[in-house]
Amino acid sequence: MNNRIAAALLLLGLGAGYGVAQWHPTAPMPAQNDKQALYWYDPMYPQQKFDKPGKSPFMDMQLVPRYAEGAATTDTPSVQIDPRQTQNIGVRLAPVSRGVMTSTLELSGILAFNDRDVAVVQARAAGFVERVYARAPGDVLKAGAPLADILVPEWAAAQEEFLALRRSGDSGLLSAARQRLRLSGMPAGLIAQMERSGRVQSVLTVTTPLSGALQTLDVREGMTVAAGQTLARVNGLDRVWLQVAVPQSQGATLAVGQAVTAHFVGLPGSTVSGAVSAILPANALDSRTVQVRVELPNPDGHLRPGMTAQVRLAQTSGQAVLLVPSEALIRTGKRVLVMLAEAGGHYRPVEVEAGAENQDQTVIRSGLQEGQQVVASGQFLLDSEASLRGLVSPSSGTSEMSMQPGAQP
């Protein structure tokens, strides 16, 4: 009977030993009298090292020694996994590659008038408003649309003189009289009309010089106007400005000419493409943003100032940088780590300096080299095991600090 029990216990022990051997992180060696310990640690707080044995300041237990056999070296701590078991625990590797970083910013924008496409309509001479056409601010007008009729009395006498000289046939005097009409502010079209008809044309019809939206109309029937007085203001609509606020953290990567695509709420299903035309020199203090101006074509007039848009701004780093999958990063709040894969199934934590991120790729400024392999899936399991084993990144300052047993951390 006793022989049967002993045989059963032996089989159970062999089976357990085989299971543990399938995944074997590098573990600390038991206490050895003939080996010198590298340091001592509390298994519950393996990141803290002590330079001599004693009682843990964290738990009611003795510190555990770490020997050279328990870790590769103090400079290259690592966790080892049987290469045959990496797939079973979901470890997936990704290369550290070099390429040009292309990122996309998703922002909001609002349409505004193009302040470079503005026409100001003024009175060419003093006169009286005889008629105001049915116009109002906000109307979209074509070029040449009439706004008001203005009677200019001083033009009548100058035109009478011109017609009298034309009957005399003196070409020299006629040319001088025509020049006086131009200097009085009479437009060339009205002079030509007077010459064709032979009648005095003292009423000027003020028209819009370009197609666009009527912004102001400061003229009423019967009022007196002075020479140079502003009567109306018109904004063109052939090209409009899209104003975009970019966070200051992204402002350094902006450049004139960057490609922009915009989706407007009022135009579902349509996409308008343009480019950054200007980066304004002053930042918005209230929102801490950089103001960017995008010029968009508007041939059919569907884009109206005041419309909101979802803007996609493409950014390119312009030079080759190191890239890793964003999922490979372990962010602790104080630093950023990756699990670096090495030969023989060894994995060790490495602290890196992360840069810009674009969807699934992150720029690495320092800590890695091109061609290395990092763990893109399963890295948190390996990092936890490394912490339990007391393995930390060599570049970490505070976690490498040694303490006296019983001292407060």
Please check whether residues 132 and 111 belong to one and the same domain: no
Residue 366, domain extent:
79-101+320-402
- Please report whether residue 367 resides in a domain: yes
Whole-model pTM above 0.75? no
Domain boundary among 191, 218, 236: 236
- Please report whether residue 28 resides in a domain: no
- Please report whether residue 142 resides in a domain: yes
Confidence of residue 236 (pLDDT cuts 50, 70, 90): very high
CATH number at residue 126: 2.40.50.100
Task: Identify the DSSP state of 85.
Answer: G
Distances, alpha carbon 45 to alpha carbons 42, 72, 337, 391, in Å: 5, 20, 19, 11
- Cβ burial of 304 (10 Å; 0-12, 13-18, 19+) is middle
User: In this model, does residue 288 exceed pLDDT 70?
Assistant: yes
Of 167, 201, 198, 196, nearest to 184 by C-alpha is 201
Number of compact structural domains in the chain: 3
Task: Identify the DSSP state of 28.
Answer: P
pLDDT (0 to 100) of residue 135: 93
Q: pLDDT higher for 78 or 365? A: 365
Q: Are 184 and 178 in contact (CB under 8 A)?
A: no
- Please report whether residue 54 resides in a domain: no
Please check whether residues 207 and 339 belong to one and the same domain: no
Please check whether residues 181 and 247 belong to one and the same domain: no
CATH number at residue 365: 2.40.420.20
Please check whether residues 151 and 228 belong to one and the same domain: yes
User: In this model, does residue 231 exceed pLDDT 90?
Assistant: yes
pLDDT (0 to 100) of residue 209: 92
- Cβ burial of 18 (10 Å; 0-12, 13-18, 19+) is exposed
- Which tokens in the block code for residue 154? 């001083």
Of 296, 313, 293, 312, nearest to 304 by C-alpha is 296
Domain boundary among 316, 347, 375: 316
CATH number at residue 260: 2.40.30.170
Please check whether residues 220 and 243 belong to one and the same domain: no
**What is the mean pLDDT of the segment spanning 338-347?**
81
Task: Give dist(CA 277, CA 292) in Å, integer.
Answer: 8
Share of the chain above pLDDT 90, in %: 22
pLDDT (0 to 100) of residue 363: 85
pLDDT (0 to 100) of residue 182: 84
Domain boundary among 212, 236, 260: 236
Please check whether residues 244 and 164 belong to one and the same domain: no
Please check whether residues 263 and 339 belong to one and the same domain: no
pLDDT (0 to 100) of residue 68: 61
| Length, in residues, of the chain | 409
- Please report whether residue 360 resides in a domain: yes
Please check whether residues 294 and 367 belong to one and the same domain: no
Please check whether residues 221 and 259 belong to one and the same domain: no
Beta-ladder partners of 203: 151
- Nearest-10 crossing angle of helices 153-168, 188-197: 50
Please check whether residues 192 and 250 belong to one and the same domain: no
Which of 40-44, 46-50, 183-187 tops mean pLDDT?
183-187
Express each pLDDT in 137-157 by its tens digit.
999 999 999 999 999 888 888
**What is the mean pLDDT of the segment spanning 33-46?**
69
Confidence of residue 233 (pLDDT cuts 50, 70, 90): very high
Task: Give dist(CA 281, CA 326) in Å, integer.
Answer: 33
- Please report whether residue 24 resides in a domain: no
Find how far residue 48's CA is from the centre of its chain: 41
Please check whether residues 110 and 147 belong to one and the same domain: no
- Please report whether residue 282 resides in a domain: yes
Please check whether residues 208 and 294 belong to one and the same domain: no
- Please report whether residue 6 resides in a domain: no
